[in-house]
Amino acid sequence: MKLSKRRKWIPAGYISSGLLLATVMVTGCGAPDADFRANEAYLTLQENKVGELGTRRESIKQNIEDVLTGLYGTPDEPHLLSVDGLSDVVEIENLQIAAGPTGSIDEAGARRGLYREHCAHCHGITGDGRGPTAEFLNPYPRDYRLGVYKFKSTTGKMPPTRDDLKKTLVEGIPGTAMPSFRLLNGFELDALVDYVRYLSIRGETERALIDYAVELEDDQNVLWNIADEAQQTEAKEAVEEMVADVVAKYVAAHDNRIPVPAPPENWETAESIARGRELFAGPIANCIKCHGLTALGDGVVNDYDDWTKEFFDPNAPGGRETFAELYGSTHAVMKPRPIRPRNLRMNVFRGGRRPVDLYWRLANGIVGTPMPAVPIKAEDAPEEDPRLVSDDVWHIIAYVRNLPYEDISEPAPLPKYQRKRH
């Protein structure tokens, strides 16, 4: 009897051990060493433009990896090439604090590993926005490798300043998984800011190297053989030039701030808000096209951000199938997700709620997203020029800031000349 009772438990024992083993196998037991990941997706994109690389792909990939290691080091030991201006853009001491394993200590006893501790789980060790948690987060964590950032005070596609990035770290981004790191010290924040810039510069350099490498002829499949001393000088100069082009933008960023004139005297009065409402719905700013008639963010809802559109063409027939074919199996690119215009009635502005933050968003748009810049003319431009003046931008801001207090069930009527359109 004992035996038959015991026998009953044997399959249960096997099943539970097997399931436990399956758990560990599926979810993993060990951890690979920390290393930067190659930008496979961009390499695939460029390969599709120039034609199949075949066996050259692996050697190009390895060569680029060696060059980047030579230029920028590893996640544990970063270093910088002596390119003009690079040391002004990022400080090596900051990189050394931010780099390294979590909780590690350097020779002087100072704590290192801040990036891996605080950022890598979302942004990835390479800054590619594909950390372990990325798939669950909406919006996806930022991919630094394009050097494109949404919330900044600089013009056009210039990189953000250190202060812009520090502001994002300190304030976080409400409504997203980007936390506020206000509990970190100033020097820790500075270290993280520089490390993010370092990852951007590294990422942009990698893209430039891929662009260059895929155009090489078959017999030139080595971009730069670091071990070959004879080849060093000429190839190194070419690479240094690529890096210098990337770095130059960061050097120039601080001198390319969006000019922000003072608001008009009647700003945020009833008259200003009414003028803002008119411009909001007007043909020049045309905010209602995307943000919707009542600014709930229900206008255009099927657009994508630039990080997605680089790999996914929503308008091409079979776009999704092409995307799945190229990137689906490797998961090198996050699945496309539409980007929604902001619901302006929430009084939540992810890049900051201050009037100057809103001015920056309107004057320069939100780079990387479909949010365009409002066309602005100089104060002394002719009246026939249909673009807006800076006072008009301030009036739009006044209207937007007043939106949460405007009764949505009885929105203020649109000006007469607008009604026909809708």
Partner 1 sequence: MKLASSQSEFSPWPHRLAVLLVCVTFPLIWVGGLVTTYDAGMAVPDWPTTYGYNLFLYPWQTWILGPWDLLIEHGHRLLGALTGMIALAFTAAVLRFDQRKWMRWAAFAAVVLVIFQGLLGGARVLLDARTLAMIHGCVGPLFFAFAACLAVTTSNWWRRGSASENWPTKARFAGLTVIVASLAYWQLILGAQVRHMPVMATPMDFRMAVIFHLVMAVTLLVFVSLLVRKTIRLKPGPAVRQPVLLLGLIMLFQIGLGVGTWVVKYGWPLLGDSYAMSAQYLVVNESLLQSFITTLHVATGSLILAIAAVVCLRCLRLQSLAAPASIVFIGLMSQTRWEVAR
Ramachandran area for residue 304 (φ above 0: left; ψ -120 to 50: alpha; else beta) = beta
**74 is a site residue for partner 1 (CB under 8 A):** no
Backbone angles phi and psi of 73, in degrees to 5: 80, -155
Residues 116-145 that bind partner 1 (CB under 8 A): 116-118, 120-121, 125, 130-138
Question: Which listed residue (69, 74, 102, 225) binds partner 1 by CB under 8 A?
Answer: 102
Residue 135 and residue 117: Cα distance in Å, rounded? 19
Residues 244-283 that bind partner 1 (CB under 8 A): none
Residue 71 has which token pair?
Answer: 């230029």
Q: Which residue pairs from 76-81 have beta carbons closer than 8 angstroms and sit at least 24 positions apart in sequence? A: 76/34, 76/100, 76/101, 78/195, 78/198, 80/198, 81/240, 81/243
Residue 65 and residue 136: Cα distance in Å, rounded? 29
**31 is a site residue for partner 1 (CB under 8 A):** yes
Q: How far is the CB of 346 from partner 1 (least distance, A)?
A: 5
**17 is a site residue for partner 1 (CB under 8 A):** no
**340 is a site residue for partner 1 (CB under 8 A):** yes
Going by C-beta distance under 8 Å and a sequence separation of 6 or more, which residues neighbour residue 7? none
Closer CB to partner 1, 309 or 340, in the complex: 340
**27 is a site residue for partner 1 (CB under 8 A):** yes
**2 is a site residue for partner 1 (CB under 8 A):** yes
Closer CB to partner 1, 12 or 262, in the complex: 12
- With CB under 8 A as the contact rule, which of the stretches 48-56, 171-179, 191-199, 268-276 interacts with partner 1? 171-179
Considering just the CA atoms, what is the radius of gyration of the chain in Å?
A: 26
Three-state DSSP class for residue 286: coil
Q: How far is the CB of 187 from partner 1 (least distance, A)?
A: 15
HSE-CB for 318 with a 13 A CA cutoff: 3
Q: How far is the CB of 324 from partner 1 (least distance, A)?
A: 15
Q: Which residues of 118-153 are buried (b: 16+ CB within 10 A; e: fewer)?
A: bbbebbbbbbbbbbeebeeeebbbbbbbbbbbbbbb
- With CB under 8 A as the contact rule, which of the stretches 188-196, 261-269, 343-351, 383-391 interacts with partner 1? 343-351
Going by C-beta distance under 8 Å and a sequence separation of 6 or more, which residues neighbour residue 79? 72, 73, 92, 95
> Helical H runs in 254-389?
270-281, 288-291, 306-309, 319-323, 355-364
Residue 123 and residue 80: Cα distance in Å, rounded? 21
Q: How far is the CB of 237 from partner 1 (least distance, A)?
A: 34
**356 is a site residue for partner 1 (CB under 8 A):** no
**10 is a site residue for partner 1 (CB under 8 A):** no
Question: Which listed residue (18, 85, 103, 386) binds partner 1 by CB under 8 A?
Answer: 103
Residue 393 has which token pair?
Answer: 């931008």
Closer CB to partner 1, 211 or 406, in the complex: 406
Question: Which listed residue (70, 101, 355, 372) binds partner 1 by CB under 8 A?
Answer: 101
**178 is a site residue for partner 1 (CB under 8 A):** yes
Q: How many residues bind partner 1 (CB under 8 A)?
A: 59
Residue 213 and residue 224: Cα distance in Å, rounded? 10
Residue 397 and residue 317: Cα distance in Å, rounded? 39
Q: How far is the CB of 18 from partner 1 (least distance, A)?
A: 12
Q: How far is the CB of 150 from partner 1 (least distance, A)?
A: 15
**297 is a site residue for partner 1 (CB under 8 A):** yes
Closer CB to partner 1, 178 or 213, in the complex: 178
**148 is a site residue for partner 1 (CB under 8 A):** no
**288 is a site residue for partner 1 (CB under 8 A):** no
> Using CB under 8 A as the criterion, what x/- string covers residues 316-335 for binding partner 1?
---------------x--x-
Contact residues toward partner 1 (CB under 8 A) are 1-2, 5-6, 16, 19-20, 23, 26-35, 101-105, 116-118, 120-121, 125, 130-138, 172-184, 297, 331, 334, 340, 342-343, 346, 348
